[in-house]
Each structure stands twice: as C-alpha cells, then as structure tokens.
C-alpha cells in the first residue's frame, strides 16, 4: 500500500547569478503543489536549495574578484529573499556546501569506488563549461553544445568514471514498465529514445588543476566531484540518508522531482542509475515542465530577455504574479510570457471575475444585512447551478492535481466564480432589498458568500495572501481562514451570525495599453475619410487618438436609483464599477423609471471631473443615445462583469 505522504523537490539552483523567472516558476509551482497537499491533510515535505560547486560558480567568483565561498554566500541570499517575498513555504533549504550534504556525497563515492562501480581512465572529448558536461563528437550540434548551443572545449585528461552503462538495460525496462516515472509522456519518450543508443559511463570527477571548487574525492585528493553527481545527491542527503534512517524512511521515495525540461537527462538517466548502484528506490515521478518563451526564444541571460520576478511582484503584487504563472502554463508545454498577456489575464480573471464578485457580495452583506450572515437556508432550485458549479470545482481541482494539470483545475475554479456572478445578476439582490423581501435577500447573499468561501479556499495555495484577506473578510476565524479540502467539499460551511468585515478592492483593475482604440487614419487617408463623411463632417471638430484615449469607459451595474425631488429630469444612481460604488446624477428621468434601472449594465465615463447638480455630487457620466425626445442608455451585448473596459 502506498504511503500517504508528499515529498516534492525543486532543482537546486546555481549561485553564479541572481534568480530569474525560470527559478521563480519552478519554485512557486512546487509551493502551490505542497500547499494543496497540506489542504488535503497529507504530510508534506518541500525541499529546495542551491547548487554551490562547479566551474560556473568558480568563474563567477573570479569575475567578481572574490572567493567561491563568498560568491555562494552573497548570491544565496538573493534566492532566500526572493522565496520569502514570493511566499514560498519550503520545509528545508539545502546548500551543497553544507557539511550534512558533503558527508553523504563522500560516503557514496567511497562506497561505489570500493565496489568497483567507479574506475579511473583517460578521457578525450568535448566539454561545455556552462552545462559542466562532457559530450562526444556525435552529441554536438553543428559543433556546439547540444544543450545550450554554446562553444565547447576539447579536453584530454585522466578522470574517474561511474559505470553507468551497466544499468542501461535495467533503466530501459524500468521506464517502459512504469509510465508514471517520467512525465509528461513526451518527455518519457524522449528519455527512452536517448537510452536506445549506447550509453556511456559517466565522468564524475574534475582535476583540481582545472577546477578546485568542489567536494574532494575521498579516494584521490587531486580531484573534486563532478557538480551533477554532487548536486543530485541533495534529494536524499537533505532527508537523512546515511544519518537518520527513520527520517529517510518517512519521506523517501520522493513523490515528485519537479524540473525544467533542459535537465531531463541528468534526472532520468544519471540519477536513477546512481540510485540503483547504491541500492536506493527510485523517486515516484520526475516531472519536466516547459520553458517560458519570449516570442519563440527561451528566456535566458545570454539573450537578455529574462523577466525579473522581483520587479513583477513589486509592480503587480505577489499573488497576481503567482496566479498568472500557474494559470497560464500547461504543465509540460512551453508558454509565452508578455506583460500584455499578464495584464489581460489579471483583468479578466482577477479584477473582473473574482474581485468583482467579492466586492458585490461583501458590500451588499454589509449594507443590507448589517454585516451579519443569516441562518444557512437550504439551497433551492435557484441555487442549483451555483452549488453544482462550485462543488464540481472542488472535485475537479483534486483530480487535476493528481494529473499535474493545475491550469485546468484553476480554470474550473474560475468557472465557479463566473457562476457566482451569474447567480448574483440573475437573483438581483439589490432589487430584493428595495422590495423589502428580506428572506429572499438573505438567501441570495448567504449562498453568494458560501461560493466565495469555497473558491477562496480552492485558490488559497495559488494566492495565499489575497485569499486569506478574503476569507478573513468573510468572518472566518484564524483556524478556518486556512482551508481544508474536507470543509470545501460540503456546502453550508458559513455559520449563522458570522460577522462580515470590510475589504478594499481585492484586485484593482490595471489600465492596459490595449484598451485604447486602433490608431486613427492620418495624412491623406484622413482627408479621404473626411471627404467620404459627407456634409455633416464639414464643420466637425476632430480629436486625435491620444486625446480620445484619455477617456476611460467602464461597464457598471446600477444597484440603487431614486429621483431628485427638485428636478423633473434627474435621477440619483448608485453604480457598481468593479470594486467601487459611484454616485452618478443622470438626466434620464423622462425615459426611465428608477426601479427599471436596477441591475442594468450601463457604460460610464469614470474619469470625468466630479460635478454638483441640484446639490447632489455626481462622480461620472452615463452614455446614452438620443433622437429627438427619445433616449436610450448605451449598454453591452451579452453578460459582462462590472468594471470591464469599453473600447
């Protein structure tokens, strides 16, 4: 029977430079998976760390005119600070310069050497410094490194080798018989293809006259350990291999080694054969995710197209950054990163859908129910779609977690959020409040709040900061504010009498450059357009696109309306625009009865200078079409949340 534990690891990162979005993505993904398993009450251990030996670190130190140890100590802080900033909840952070790790590496090396699994031989071949790997002539692509496409060096030297080739047939059979060992499937096939060619033995040493920054071989003081042989051991040295058998037994085998696809061979060929040689079981899964691309290119420092995760978090918020990375990439495939895509997803999913629902529900509970939730009324036929969508999202998220399809799980939760907005719009609680139908109003606001309770729990691992704030605003105590799947799977978890608190805009909308209209015709084209316009255009005053772009148009929902006694034509409206409620005075009393406007979606100019009409302040203007005495408000075609940009 499989143990009910979850041990997840990230690669350990080189300390030759500051962290970038690739490091942030893998670590956030591991954190989200760890948090979800904690929600399932599964004992969880999350390991990350830094790879601090090797030629890249030594060369970085030389460039900075410091020692390799100083290079490590300076750079590791950048990773630790970023993980704290991004809300990473690792249980352990291992550095390969720590004695607890080096002791285990030396023990393994000596054991393998004593048993004849490591031998000395002369070697001649091609070496890539950035990848710190040897390649044969047939491995090269156009004379360059097959991994990073950079120049390689010709080396001839004595080294020590691990008899990796002896395990080729065993590894082939193991991978073929265990489809879950390497995921996704196309990466499994990639490894199988690699193994159907002759497998060479692995060079596991570097002479000190070329590289002295590494773990010294216990059987030859003139050599240090190859950085990949050293680094891979961290997965077992960190959990007590060779030192604490009980702890090691608790967590090994690892549930998931989470890696980028560029280090597939080291984790699916080198590491399994090393484990086989020392008599340790294989990890359950090695999962290789894709790359973040800019255009068609991988993000890399050499191309100068790397996104700084600290800057993104500072600009847009940690939770929004975490959400985009998790929702945008399908695990196992590459994904494109652009700031425009980020803003579009933020506005659509977080500002317009989730933030809009939270604002509408909490505002009405406070305004119409005095901030106190009623007794939990049993869901009726009107709530059928809402309850079904929300509880289905709970089941889907658990299922997609096991399939490593996190983006699909998040999509199901957002579908539940949209069901919440549809329910709110259909039930029109603002109208129920105006009609004095207290029982119906309480039912709608309770079930809308319950929807928020569950979806905030489902999104907690992705956006822990914002979802904690939302859950606290829903009146959930400290214990309940940290969700559990078991509680989310049952409808009606909000207790009667719960006090709902105030919550500012959860996800303030980001103004995007794409919200402006396409560039207007200029020069001769503009003249032709004017000529075609006919007589009415002769005295038309034109404005440039730059001036028009200054006008901010948003959708809004009318939540209250009444007449202004001193005026025959003015109505005073309360209009919900995203997370805000605006008071607007509109001259539409001759065309609309106040009650007929409740729940109607209108278009509002939101950056108009406030004015006072008949002693009432107006902060915005509605758009309407007029022909003679006939007037009609401009609206949108189909359902769309309040606060959406109009362009």
Q: Which two tokens stand for residue 113?
A: 């050497």
CATH number at residue 361: 1.10.730.10
Q: With 0-12 CB in 10 A as exposed, 13-18 as middle and 19+ as buried, what is 479? A: exposed
- Do residues 616 and 598 share a domain? yes
- Do residues 449 and 541 share a domain? no
CA dihedral 611, 616, 620, 626 (to 10 degrees): -100
pLDDT of residue 50: 97
Whether 74 is covered by a domain: the verdict is yes
pLDDT > 60? residue 535: no
632 band by pLDDT with thresholds 50, 70 and 90: confident
pLDDT > 50? residue 536: no
pLDDT of residue 523: 37
- Do residues 461 and 343 share a domain? yes
Least reliable range by pLDDT among 329-333, 346-350, 482-486, 515-519: 515-519
Which candidate, 574, 570, 565, places its Cα nearest to that of 368?
Answer: 574
pLDDT > 70? residue 327: yes
pLDDT of residue 551: 84
Whether 444 is covered by a domain: the verdict is yes
pLDDT > 70? residue 306: no
pLDDT of residue 263: 95
Which candidate, 643, 636, 625, 624, places its Cα nearest to that of 552?
Answer: 643
- Do residues 458 and 555 share a domain? no
pLDDT of residue 376: 85
Least reliable range by pLDDT among 166-175, 345-354, 501-510, 544-553: 544-553
pLDDT > 60? residue 288: yes
- Do residues 452 and 547 share a domain? no
Contacts 24+ apart (CB under 8 A), 64-73: 68/213, 69/97, 71/15, 71/16, 72/15, 72/97
pLDDT > 70? residue 595: no
pLDDT > 80? residue 637: no
Q: Which of 488, 511, 539 is the last residue of a domain?
A: 488
The crossing angle, in degrees rounded to 10, of helices 68-85 and 55-64 is 100
- Do residues 325 and 299 share a domain? yes
CATH number at residue 612: 2.40.50.140
- Do residues 475 and 405 share a domain? yes
pLDDT > 80? residue 525: no
Q: Which two tokens stand for residue 228?
A: 């990949």
464 or 631: which carries more pLDDT confidence?
Answer: 464
**Mean pLDDT of the 173-200 span:** 96
**Mean pLDDT of the 515-543 span:** 39
Q: Which residue has the tokens 């805009």?
A: 505
299 band by pLDDT with thresholds 50, 70 and 90: low
Helix boundaries (H) for 403-490: 406-427, 429-435, 438-458, 464-473, 478-481, 485-488
Whether 498 is covered by a domain: the verdict is no
307 band by pLDDT with thresholds 50, 70 and 90: low
Whether 260 is covered by a domain: the verdict is no
pTM here? 0.79
pLDDT > 90? residue 468: yes
pLDDT > 80? residue 519: no
Q: Which of 279, 310, 337 is the last residue of a domain?
A: 337
Which candidate, 90, 58, 94, places its Cα nearest to that of 76?
Answer: 94
What is the C-alpha to C-alpha distance for residues 563 and 572, in angstroms, rounded to an integer?
Answer: 6
Residue 36 and residue 462 in contact, taking contact as beta carbons nearer than 8 Å: no
pLDDT of residue 322: 96
Task: Tell me the pLDDT tens digit for each residue of 36-62.
Answer: 999 999 999 999 999 999 888 999 899
- Do residues 357 and 464 share a domain? yes
CATH number at residue 329: 3.40.50.620
What is the C-alpha to C-alpha distance for residues 600 and 579, in angstroms, rounded to an integer?
Answer: 17
What is the C-alpha to C-alpha distance for residues 22 and 8, in angstroms, rounded to an integer?
Answer: 17
131 band by pLDDT with thresholds 50, 70 and 90: confident
Which candidate, 293, 292, 291, 233, places its Cα nearest to that of 257?
Answer: 233
**Mean pLDDT of the 159-187 span:** 97
pLDDT of residue 258: 98
Domain containing 54 equals 1-95+290-337
- Do residues 60 and 32 share a domain? yes
pLDDT of residue 522: 34
Whether 163 is covered by a domain: the verdict is no
**Mean pLDDT of the 293-303 span:** 62
pLDDT > 50? residue 514: no
Whether 242 is covered by a domain: the verdict is no
Q: What are phi and psi of 135, to 5 degrees?
A: -135, 150
Task: Tell me the pLDDT tens digit for each residue of 347-371.
Answer: 999 999 999 999 999 999 999 999 9
CA 640, distance to chain mean position in Å, is 25
Query: In 3-state terms, what secondary structure has residue 260?
Result: strand
619 band by pLDDT with thresholds 50, 70 and 90: confident
pLDDT of residue 634: 86
Which candidate, 555, 563, 554, 558, places its Cα nearest to that of 430?
Answer: 558
DSSP string, 338-395: -HHHHHHHIIIIIIIIIIHHHHHHHHHHHHHHTTB----PPP-GGGHHHHHHHHHHHH
Query: 216-217 and 256-260 as β-strands: parallel, antiparallel, unpaired?
Result: unpaired
Which candidate, 277, 273, 278, places its Cα nearest to that of 174?
Answer: 273
Whether 414 is covered by a domain: the verdict is yes
Task: Tell me the pLDDT tens digit for each residue of 235-251.
Answer: 999 999 999 999 999 99
Q: Which of 303, 322, 337 is the last residue of a domain?
A: 337
pLDDT > 80? residue 297: no
- Do residues 450 and 527 share a domain? no
Q: How far apart are the first and last CA of the chain?
A: 58
Residue 253: cis peptide before it, omega within 30 degrees of 0? yes
Query: In 3-state terms, what secondary structure has residue 139?
Result: helix
Query: In 3-state terms, what secondary structure has residue 448?
Result: helix
Which candidate, 616, 563, 606, places its Cα nearest to that of 588?
Answer: 563
- Residue 270: DSSP 8-state: I
Helix boundaries (H) for 54-184: 55-64, 68-85, 99-114, 168-177
What is the C-alpha to C-alpha distance for residues 347 and 349, in angstroms, rounded to an integer?
Answer: 6
- Do residues 537 and 437 share a domain? no
pLDDT > 90? residue 99: yes
Query: In 3-state terms, what secondary structure has residue 322?
Result: helix
Q: Count of domains in the chain?
A: 3
Q: What are phi and psi of 356, to 5 degrees?
A: -65, -45
The crossing angle, in degrees rounded to 10, of helices 309-316 and 68-85 is 30
- Do residues 351 and 331 share a domain? no
Which range in 172-181, 284-293, 339-348 is most confidently predicted, on average pLDDT?
Answer: 172-181
Q: With 0-12 CB in 10 A as exposed, 13-18 as middle and 19+ as buried, what is 378? A: exposed
Q: Provide the mean pLDDT of the chain.
A: 88
pLDDT > 80? residue 402: yes
**Mean pLDDT of the 179-186 span:** 97
Tell whether the torsion through CA atoms of 50, 55, 59 and 62 is positive or negative.
Answer: positive
What is the C-alpha to C-alpha distance for residues 198 and 138, in angstroms, rounded to an integer?
Answer: 12
pLDDT of residue 528: 37
Whether 535 is covered by a domain: the verdict is yes
The helix or strand, by DSSP H or E, that contains position 203, with its residue range, turns out to be: strand 202-203
């Amino acid at each position: 029977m499989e143990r009910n534990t979850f041990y997840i690891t990230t690669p350990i990162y080189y300390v030759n430079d500051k962290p970038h979005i690739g490091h942030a993505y893998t670590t956030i993904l591991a954190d989200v998976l760890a948090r979800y398993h904690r929600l399932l009450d599964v004992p969880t251990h999350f390991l990350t760390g830094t790879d601090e030996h090797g030629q890249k670190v030594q060369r970085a130190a030389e460039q900075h005119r410091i020692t390799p140890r100083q290079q490590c100590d300076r750079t590791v802080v950048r990773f630790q600070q970023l993980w704290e900033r991004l809300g990473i909840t690792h249980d352990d952070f291992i550095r390969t310069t720590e004695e607890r790790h080096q002791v285990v590496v030396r023990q393994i090396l000596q054991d393998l050497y004593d048993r004849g699994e490591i031998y000395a031989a002369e070697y001649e071949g091609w070496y890539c410094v950035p990848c710190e790997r040897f390649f044969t002539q047939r491995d090269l692509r156009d004379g360059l490194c097959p991994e990073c496409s950079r120049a390689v060096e010709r080396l001839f030297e004595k080294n020590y080798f691990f008899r990796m080739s002896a395990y080729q047939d065993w590894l082939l059979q193991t991978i073929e018989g265990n489809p879950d060992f390497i995921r996704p499937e196309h990466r499994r096939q990639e490894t199988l293809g690699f193994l159907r060619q002759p497998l060479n033995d692995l060079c596991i040493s570097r002479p000190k006259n070329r590289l002295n920054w590494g773990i010294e071989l216990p059987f030859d003081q003139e050599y240090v350990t190859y950085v990949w042989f050293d680094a891979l051991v961290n997965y077992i040295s960190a959990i007590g291999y060779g030192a604490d058998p009980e702890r090691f037994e608790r967590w090994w085998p690892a549930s998931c080694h989470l890696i980028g696809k560029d280090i597939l061979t080291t984790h699916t060929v080198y590491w399994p054969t090393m484990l086989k040689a020392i008599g340790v079981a294989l990890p359950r899964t090695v999962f290789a995710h894709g790359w973040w691309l800019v255009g068609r290119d991988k993000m890399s420092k050499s191309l100068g197209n790397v996104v700084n995760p600290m800057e993104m978090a500072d600009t847009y918020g940690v939770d929004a950054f975490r959400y985009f990375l998790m929702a945008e990439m399908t695990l196992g495939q590459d994904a494109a990163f652009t700031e425009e895509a980020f803003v579009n997803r933020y506005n659509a999913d977080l500002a317009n859908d989730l933030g809009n629902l939270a604002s509408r529900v909490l505002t009405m509970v406070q305004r119409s129910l005095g901030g106190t939730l009623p007794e939990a009324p049993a869901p009726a036929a009107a709530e059928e779609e809402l309850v079904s969508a929300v509880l289905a999202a709970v089941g889907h998220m658990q299922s997609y977690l096991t399939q490593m399809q996190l983006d699909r799980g998040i999509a199901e939760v957002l579908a539940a959020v949209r069901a919440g907005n549809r329910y709110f719009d259909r039930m029109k609680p603002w109208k129920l409040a105006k009609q004095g139908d207290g029982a119906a109003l309480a039912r709608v606001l309770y079930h809308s709040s319950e929807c928020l309770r569950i979806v905030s729990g489902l999104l907690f691992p992705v956006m822990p900061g914002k979802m904690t704030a939302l859950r606290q605003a829903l009146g959930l105590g400290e214990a309940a504010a940290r969700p559990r799947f078991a509680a989310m799977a049952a409808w009606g978890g909000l207790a009667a009498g719960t006090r709902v608190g105030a919550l500012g805009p959860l996800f303030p909308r980001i103004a995007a450059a794409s919200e402006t209209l396409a560039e207007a015709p200029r020069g001769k084209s503009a003249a032709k357009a004017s000529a075609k316009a006919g007589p009415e255009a002769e005295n038309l005053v034109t404005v440039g696109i730059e001036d028009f772009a200054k006008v901010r148009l948003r959708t809004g929902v009318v939540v209250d309306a009444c007449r202004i006694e001193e005026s025959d034509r003015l109505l005073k409206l309360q209009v919900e625009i995203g997370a805000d409620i605006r008071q607007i005075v509109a001259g539409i009393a001759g065309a609309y009865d106040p009650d007929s406007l409740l729940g109607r979606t209108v278009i509002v100019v939101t950056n108009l200078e406030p004015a006072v009409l008949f002693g009432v302040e107006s902060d915005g203007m509605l758009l309407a079409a007029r022909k003679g005495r006939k007037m009609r408000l401009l609206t949108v075609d189909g359902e769309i949340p309040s606060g959406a940009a109009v362009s």
